[in-house]
Amino acid sequence: MGGGASTVKPTTVPERLAVNSFRVDEEESHIVVDQELCRTTGSGAAIIAVCPAGVYSEQDGLILVDHAACLECGTCLAVAAPGALTWRYPRGGFGVSFREG
Amino acid sequence: MTSDAAGPDFDVVVVGAGIAGSVTAYRLAERGLSVVLIERGDVPGSKNLSGGVLYGRVLETVFPHYLNEAPVERRITRHVTTFLNADSAVSLDYSADGLAEPGNAVTVLRAKFDPWLAGKAEEAGAFLMPGVRVDSLLTGPGLDGATTVVGVRAGDDELRARVVVAADGVNSFLASSVGLRQKQPTNHLAVGVKAVIRLPRADIESRFGVSGDRGAAHAIVGDCTLGIGGGGFIYTNTESLSLGVVLRLDDLLRSGHTAIEVFEHFTQHPGLQQYLHGGELIEYGSHLVAEGGYPMVGEVAMNGMLVAGESAGLAINSGLTVRGMDLAIGSAIAASDAVVEAVAAGDTSKAGLAGYRRRLDESFVMQDMRTSARAPKFLERNRMYGPYGELIADVLQNAFSLDGTPREHLLNVARHALRRSPLTLRQLISDGWAGVRAL
Ligand SMILES: Cc1cc2nc3c(=O)[nH]c(=O)nc-3n(C[C@H](O)[C@H](O)[C@H](O)COP(=O)(O)OP(=O)(O)OC[C@H]3O[C@@H](n4cnc5c(N)ncnc54)[C@H](O)[C@@H]3O)c2cc1C
Ligand code: SF4
């Protein structure tokens, strides 16, 4: 087994996202959280845990959303309690564009 | 694009130029139907991601020479299954060159493969509309009083058709909007987190023991997912590797880990560096996988609409392989035949479209979904993801680490290892039996 020097370079989420191609919709966000429901249902913690892009974070009890980083998998919606999250695909032509897939 | 309420603009609107949508559109256009294929990505494939092993025999029935034409990466002749522990690994290596001729499985990168497939549909006469997100279905009351889908709405535009084929993928917003699908429990879904790393061809060939256009598919279970239900994969492309983890959502949530942590643990795992080292990251993505198996497939037809591909819940995770692309193709074949039949008969009601479900049931799609019906349950047995790999490693360590003490018979070694393991013989037998039945 390898190890030590010969490893694949560790990367942070922002570094990984930086190699992707995105066209960010500056006018509207495709993600809206209901702060109250996110808190009371535990959905806030759940969406932070599952999101591979680090779109969600918590600050002073509020869920912050960085919709520009979204990889459009829909995982957050799948774990959120009904109503806690409004999530749809970005408008046509916006969002991530995979070049490999 | 608005039309007077009476006539449809097209025979068929297909939503989603993924695998299911493009094959459906191709086969309908081939048969002379007017088809529009709507895709939210600027280019087909630009929103799509898979692990990348296409079990392509079924595609050969649609495009007999696709292996020579399509942008496929490598023909898989080597399947390696690894139980990865924190500091040991046990692998089962199955290689057979016969798997290459004719191609049993090939690796594909969807951003390259899907444009080719959508191009086939266009050549056959389908009208491709990329960069357009369908927002909702147009519905009206049917003759039988039940809701009938009569078209789609995208922004201010409305497109009417005799039949809408929803091939919009695992999130299946369209099917949900008309009640064909319910919100899925978290144990029916897994998140795939994937990276593509560039690696010189020569390194791929020496590290994976393949040459020419041959390739390897590694399935990895155990410590690489920190014991979370699912697994890891490393697949060889021509000059890159597809790698990542698939994590069942209920288990991920229970684990207290984040998906990001598990992905990073996987890519930094010492047991995998022999394959990955020096690779340059060129893409990072994620996508859901339907893992509910047969129980997740609900209604696939209603008045004026069919649901195809993963939006119908058609995907199988056996623990060692994820299959969705071949099932998407199989369902596209069934869907397009049923639509041709219904349009010809002038009956696109649910009854008129019933040939879809019948064809699905008769084809390998539903037969495999049924065969693997027990697989998700089997995979829920969490012992599969930790103790087993350790048990096997323990046995092999005893067999291979010759420290001067007399060797025991392997069976005794196994018995002792089992005693040290949290597993009981009864669990071993029950899991083994469940596994044989499920896989
Ligand atoms: C990590 C991972 C590994 C996998 N590994 C494998 C594997 O090795 N082998 C295998 O066979 N399968 C694998 N799968 C599963 C496979 O990728 C899917 O099952 C398959 O892509 C499903 O095809 P589809 O055509 O049904 O849906 P998709 O390929 O998802 O296509 C849906 C299309 O619809 C479009 N769309 C969605 N909504 C709209 C809308 N409202 N308007 C317009 N367009 C829309 C999307 O942009 C997309 O192009 C894997 C999946 C993942 C996530
Ligand atoms: S869709 Fe996926 S990437 Fe986007 S916010 Fe939700 S979990 Fe994160």
pLDDT, position B141: 87
Ligand 1 near B17 CB (within 6 A): yes
| Domain locations in chain B as residue ranges | 10-74+103-185+294-373, 187-290, 386-438
Contact in structure between A91 and B133 (CB atoms under 8 Å): yes
Model confidence, pTM? 0.91
Angstrom distance (rounded) from CA B121 to CA B128: 8
Contact B47 A3 (CB under 8 A): no
CA-closest candidate to residue B26, choices B159, B118, B152, B161: B118
Confidence check: pLDDT of B398 > 90: no
Write down the pLDDT at residue B2. 42
User: How far does B4 lie from chain A, in Å, by closest CA?
Assistant: 25
Instruction: State the Cα angle at B45 between B242 and B199, rounded to 5°.
Output: 25
Judged against a pLDDT cut of 90, whether residue B427 lies above it is answered with no
Cβ contact A74–B113 (<8 Å): no
Confidence of residue B218 (pLDDT cuts 50, 70, 90): very high
Would you call A97 and B132 a contact, using CB atoms and an 8 Å cutoff? no
pLDDT of A53 above 80:
yes
Q: In terms of Cα–Cα distance, which of B306, B318, B326, B298 is closest to B184?
A: B298
- pLDDT tens track for B14-26: 999 999 999 999 9
For A45, the closest chain B residue by CA position comes to B253
Burial group, residue B119, by CB count within 10 angstroms (0-12, 13-18, 19+): middle
Cβ(B316)–Cβ(B379) under 8 Å?
A: no
| Residue B390, pLDDT score | 72
Q: Which of B40, B191, B249 shows the shortest C-beta gap to A89?
A: B40
Residue A70 CA to ligand 2 centre (angstroms): 5
Q: Is the ipTM of this complex over 0.90?
A: yes
Tens-place pLDDT, residues B330-346: 999 999 999 999 999 99
Closest C-alpha to ligand 1, atom 31: B18
Average pLDDT, integer, range B84-110: 85
- Identify which of A1, A77, A79 has the shortest CB distance to residue B270: A1
In this prediction, residue B136 carries a pLDDT of 98
More confident site: B287 or B229: B287
pLDDT over 50 (residue B1): no
B320 or B435: whose pLDDT is higher? B320
Task: Tell me the mean pLDDT in the region B83-103.
Answer: 82
Tell me which of B191, B250, B255, B264 to substitute to probe the interface with A (most A C-beta atoms closer than 10 Å): B191
Per-residue pLDDT averaged across A71-81, rounded? 98
- State which residue of chain A sits closest to B197, comparing Cα positions: A8
pLDDT winner (highest mean) among A59-73, B89-103, B213-227: A59-73
| Residue in B with minimal Cα distance to A49 | B258
B240: chain A residues, CB-CB within 8 Å: 100
Q: What is the pLDDT of residue B4?
A: 45
pLDDT of residue B416: 79
Q: Give the integer Cα–Cα distance in Å for B378 and B148.
A: 39
Mean pLDDT in residue range B397-424: 69
Decide if A98 and B46 are in contact by the 8 Å CB cutoff.
yes
Q: Residue B5: what pLDDT? A: 54
B54 CB within 6 A, ligand 1? yes
pLDDT band of B377, cuts 50, 70, 90: low
Name every chain A residue with its beta carbon within 8 A of the beta carbon of B260.
13, 51-52, 54
User: Which CATH fold topology does A29-90 show?
Assistant: Alpha-Beta Plaits (3.30.70)
Q: What is the pLDDT of residue B99?
A: 77
Closest Cα to residue B12, out of B131, B194, B145, B159? B159
Give me ligand 2 centre to Cα B230, in Å.
19
What's the pLDDT score for residue B375?
57
Best mutation target among A6, A98, A99 (most B Cβ atoms within 10 Å) is: A98
Q: Is the Cβ–Cβ distance between B186 and A79 less than 8 Å?
A: yes
How many CA atoms are closer than 13 Å to the CA of B119, on its beta-carbon side? 12
Q: Is A95 helix (H, G, I), strand (E, B) or coil?
A: strand
Domain ranges (residues) in chain A: 29-90
- Cβ within 8 Å, pair A8-B273: yes
Q: Does A27 touch chain B (CB under 8 A)?
A: no
Instruction: Compute the average pLDDT of residues B38-61.
Output: 96
Cα(B304) to ligand 1 centroid in Å equals 23
Residue B220 has pLDDT above 80, yes or no: yes
Contact of B65 with B40, CB cutoff 8 Å: no
DSSP B144: T
Residues 6 or more apart whose CB falls under 8 angstroms from that of B351 comprise: none
Q: Place B96 in a pLDDT band, splitting at 50, 70 and 90.
A: confident
Put residue A54 in one of left, alpha, beta given phi > 0 → left and psi -120 to 50 → alpha.
left
| pLDDT over threshold 80, residue B402 | no
Helix (H) or strand (E) holding B260: helix B259-267
Mean model confidence pLDDT for chain B: 90
Residue A83 reports pLDDT greater than 70: yes
Instruction: Report the SS3 class of residue B85.
Output: coil
| Long-range contact set of residues B154-157: C-beta below 8 Å, sequence gap at least 24 | B154/A92, B154/B38, B157/B1, B157/B2
A74 at the B interface (CB within 8 A)? yes
pLDDT tens profile B151-200? 999 999 999 999 999 999 999 999 999 999 999 999 999 999 999 999 99
The string of DSSP codes covering B308-364 is -GGGGT--EE-SS-EE-HHHHHHHHHHHHHHHHHHHHHT--STTTTTHHHHHHHHSH
Q: Mean pLDDT for chain A?
A: 92
**Which residues in chain B are closer than 8 Å to A75, comparing Cβ atoms?**
189, 191, 249, 259, 286, 288
**What is the CATH code for B187-290?**
3.30.9.90
Judge whether residue B254 has pLDDT over 90.
yes
Residue-wise pLDDT tens digits, B310-333: 999 999 988 778 999 999 999 999
B241 contacts B196 by C-beta, under 8 angstroms:
yes
CATH number of B10-74+103-185+294-373: 3.50.50.60
Measure the CA angle with vertex B67, ends B40 and B236; round to 5°. 75
> B96-110, B119-133, B315-329 — which is least confidently predicted?
B96-110
For the stretch B272-306, pLDDT in tens is 999 999 999 999 999 999 998 888 898 999 999 99
Check if B53 has its Cβ closer than 6 Å to any atom of ligand 1. Answer: yes
